[in-house]
Structure 1
Amino acid sequence: MKKILLALLTAVLFTAGASAADKQIKAGFIYVGPVGDAGWTYAHDQGRLEMEKLPYVEKSTYIESVPEGADATRIITGLAKKGHNLIFTTSFGYMDPTIEVAKRNKDIIFMHCSGYKTAENVGTYFGRMYQPRYLSGVVAGKMTKSNAIGYVAAFPIPEVIRGINAFTLGVKSVNPAATVKVVWTHTWFDPGKEREAAESVLDAGADVITMHQDTPAPLQAAEKRGAYAIGYNVEMKKFAPKAYLTSPVWNWAALYKVVAEQVSKGTWKSEQIWWGMEHGLVDLAPLSDLVPADVKKIVEERKTAVKNGTTKVFTGPIKDQSGKIVVPAGKTMTDAEMLSMNFFVEGVQGSPK
């Protein structure tokens, strides 16, 4: 009888200990745009909702449309004071505010999206979006008839420049005669400016456009003009079904669930995460019926090669806009070189500044 009681007591203690080891997560998210932007912030929020389903995530909250700057510091501090033990800040401009608040809250884990500064309780995360960008460039290069492709871009920072270059390398790999014209809006979320920028490249003769923006406005401008369009962030077919070809997309749940588990289990450590298509964090949305079967076959073959590492997007020879070799034949750019990219490759029209 004593042995039975002892066994039961041991089982109860073990179960209680296992439950106690899984710390309950209260996660906070800071968004740069509204959750209804149908793009960047919407994609992050979908990831949050998936993470929230985990048994050890007690709750998650978000604050949307937070300006990058002093306001961000105040709002991140507010989340810290309200008992959140895991805070995600989801835009590049939140980097310094995140570091500042983290210094005063050592017991909270912070994860900053797309930045490069870390601390003992701060990690960074991003995805190798340049991989599906390259694939979308293959689509654009095959679909253009005018050999003029437009790119509506947000800010001239390495993240955006890297995407433009990857897209252009994809275009040129199947259509050496095509060029990519870049127009900067200097905004992340401004449907009016995005639409105007798209119209400007359409006026210049582009019959395919793509973007690094947070709304589907450029796609809608393309549809109105009878052009093709490639979205970003999420599958955007419903916004411009007569123009839509595909989208490089984010699946933030693939990362958010892993980070939440690490924090809950006590295995989290500060690191700089930069996952690619092999982790499922980034992908290319299914190609629409506007894309011919032979093009779909090429893209699928390239996608397999990118995922298994056979094809590395930034492998030389790569020339810059002046025709100078910047990546010699056989050499692949390092992560550090890609993360600090500040030049445009041959075939891009516009300035990277």
Structure 2
Amino acid sequence: MDRKETELKKKAALISLSIGFLMFFGKIGAYFLTGSAAVLSDALESIVHIAATSFAFYSLHLSTKPADKEHPYGHGKIEFFSAGFEGAMIMIAALSIIAYAVRDIIIPREISRLDTGAIIITAASIINLLLGYYLIKTGKRTNSLILIADGKHVLTDSITSFGAVAALILVLITDIKLFDPVIAILLALNILWTGKHLVRESIGGLMNENDDKIIDDIGKGLETVRKYHNDWIDVHRLRYWKSGDKYMIDFHLIVPYYKSVAESHETVDQVEKRIIESLGTKQVESLIHLDPCNPRCCYICNMPECGSRKEPNSKYYRWDAKKITSLPTYDIDDVKE
């Protein structure tokens, strides 16, 4: 991994953690001033942010360590554990907020100094909004799920803060105190949805769930190679999985049976280069299984000169996610027939 990217990730995580502590003290102060359930929900969200970001910082440190004897594929999978942990913490916070708000509906509490509380929470929400966009932008730039998950959490925190401000203003204007716990419940439901999404994404990553967009990007790279180099015939059974910012890819590549090992190796190098370009990262490790062609491949082969051709090239396929992850083309066509 690029050292500059690693430092960028750690810097972003430290900024997030530092601001998390600042936000918590500001919001808990606002809660003691106002006694508002909506403000309490915002303060609880900040506690979750601190706990989740602390774990994320450790995960970030671990994920950047190089592969070793015990972990030959590296430590990148910890990113999915981190995102799942953060999602679970968000969901626990949401349920706690709902419990507090329901209690306040049943047994209303006195709330005061709403104007001061609104000012504090507004400032916190603006800071969190900027921090969330910064974390997501840095996460996408460095291909870090940890920072993206943390950024989404902070944006959720910002929405919670704006909601808390809305609750305070409504109570201040109307003197209807019921607005406070009701808005707190609505905010908690939004938080619950964000947490569920992060947990779902984490499970998908740990189980190596396919992302058709990534496979389509690989397919586009292969199409580019085929346009300028027609010394191979077909791709099938492509699979990939992701560990941190590293992609592990394997697939079968059909080449003319009469090509030497050296010639086929050169073809593989061309294909690997295009895959790296299509994914926009050098962190790619591929394992390509070479298959020799047979007479059943002739109708999909576009090699201009071949002394062994049994029939002319008559079909062209676009190599999208469905095509390159399936069986060899001639096997699929045989089944259709």
What TM-score does the superposition give when structure 2 sets the normalisation length?
0.27
The structure carrying a bigger strand percent of its residues is 1
The structure carrying a bigger helix percent of its residues is 2
> Could you say which structure has the larger radius of gyration?
2
What TM-score does the superposition give when structure 1 sets the normalisation length?
0.26
